[in-house]
């Protein structure tokens, strides 16, 4: 069996995640279920999709985009962490950041995106916000792949790109540990969508995991919760909520139209 929680992991928060998982394991053991130790991201299979599809997966966290594409109907949904953002419990959005020298309303921009399989780093930029603003990608003349939210922030801060969409929880962590808000400016936010789902191997009963996760939440200290991105609860959403989010075009398809 293997377990991981790689999506918001940072060196500064590793101990907090280990403490949280230890509490999950203790709660599961009291319920008669054995869980493995937590595997840190640098010890995981380089292909995360292969890790998420492992038949012995006890628990992991994925992104909403692969959950409704490569993982669809091939894993069991468990729950979604709630980070207390200004939206429905278990939902999240992306903060749109810009270099300070980019004026509001500018066009022909360089858009930094993390990866093509990221809901918050790519797909969110292709959706029209509720405020009637066109999709953020509509203002982009150039796409710059960065590989991560931290890479997108650095790319915009160094003005190798003009704007980027960054997962709101990742943005909290970048502000907390990197003072990211001193180098870029917020320009808006994208529509809320279901947050990063917790998953287990196909055919596994998710209820014992939900009980253990809820119990472990009670042991979180305020400092650990903040170091983990503001973790504060657990939400159980539905597959329909995830699958209702439109699939984005691939970056090369967008680039070909520009």
Q: Residue ranges of the domains in the chain? A: 2-83+194-243, 94-191
**Backbone φ, ψ for residue 86 (5° rounding):** -85, 65
**Backbone φ, ψ for residue 107 (5° rounding):** -120, -175
Considering the domain delimited by 94-191, tell me its CATH architecture: 3-Layer(aba) Sandwich (3.40)
Q: Which residues contact 88 (CB under 8 A, 6 or more apart)?
A: 192
Mean pLDDT, residues 198-222: 97
75-82 and 197-201 beta bridge pairing: antiparallel
pTM (predicted TM-score): 0.95
Q: Is the dihedral of CA 110, 184, 168, 54 positive or negative?
A: positive
- Calculate the average pLDDT of the chain: 95
Describe the chain by its helix, strand, coil percentages, rounded to 5: 35, 20, 45
Q: For residues 219 and 174, give the distance between their C-alpha atoms in angstroms, rounded to a whole number.
A: 25
Residue of 249, 77, 72, 104 lying closest to 185 (CA atoms): 104
Residue 131, pLDDT above cutoff 80: no
Residue 130, pLDDT above cutoff 80: no
Q: Is the dihedral of CA 78, 79, 80, 81 positive or negative?
A: negative
Q: What is the pLDDT of residue 257?
A: 66
Q: Which residues contact 109 (CB under 8 A, 6 or more apart)?
A: 102, 139, 140, 141, 142, 161, 162, 163
Fold of the CATH domain 2-83+194-243: D-Maltodextrin-Binding Protein; domain 2 (3.40.190)
Q: What is the pLDDT of residue 133?
A: 77
256: pLDDT confidence band, cut at 50, 70 and 90?
low
Question: Angle formed by the axes of helices 207-217 and 14-30, to 10°?
Answer: 120
Residue 75, pLDDT above cutoff 80: yes
Residue 252, pLDDT above cutoff 90: no
């Amino acid at each position: 069996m293997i377990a991981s929680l790689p999506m918001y992991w940072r060196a500064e928060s590793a101990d907090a995640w280990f403490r949280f998982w230890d509490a999950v394991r203790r709660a599961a053991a009291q319920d008669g279920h054995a869980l493995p130790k937590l595997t840190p991201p640098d010890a995981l299979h380089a292909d995360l999709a292969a890790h998420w599809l492992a038949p012995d997966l006890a628990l992991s966290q994925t992104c909403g985009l692969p959950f409704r594409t490569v993982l669809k109907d091939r894993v069991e949904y468990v729950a979604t962490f709630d980070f207390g953002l200004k939206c429905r419990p278990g939902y999240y959005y992306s903060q749109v950041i810009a270099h300070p020298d980019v004026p509001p309303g500018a066009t022909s921009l360089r858009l930094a995106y993390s990866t093509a399989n990221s809901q918050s780093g790519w797909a969110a930029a292709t959706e029209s916000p509720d405020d009637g603003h066109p999709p953020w990608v509509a203002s982009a003349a150039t796409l710059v792949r960065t590989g991560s939210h931290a890479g997108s922030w650095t790319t915009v801060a160094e003005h190798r790109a003009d704007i980027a969409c960054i997962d709101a929880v990742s943005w909290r962590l970048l502000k907390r540990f990197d003072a990211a808000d001193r180098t870029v400016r917020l320009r808006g936010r994208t529509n809320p969508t279901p947050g990063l789902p917790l998953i287990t191997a196909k055919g596994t009963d998710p209820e014992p995991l939900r009980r253990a996760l809820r119990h472990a939440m009670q042991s979180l200290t305020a400092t650990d919760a903040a170091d983990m991105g503001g973790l504060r609860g657990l939400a159980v959403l539905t597959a329909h909520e995830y699958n209702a989010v439109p699939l984005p075009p691939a970056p090369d398809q967008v680039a070909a139209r520009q």
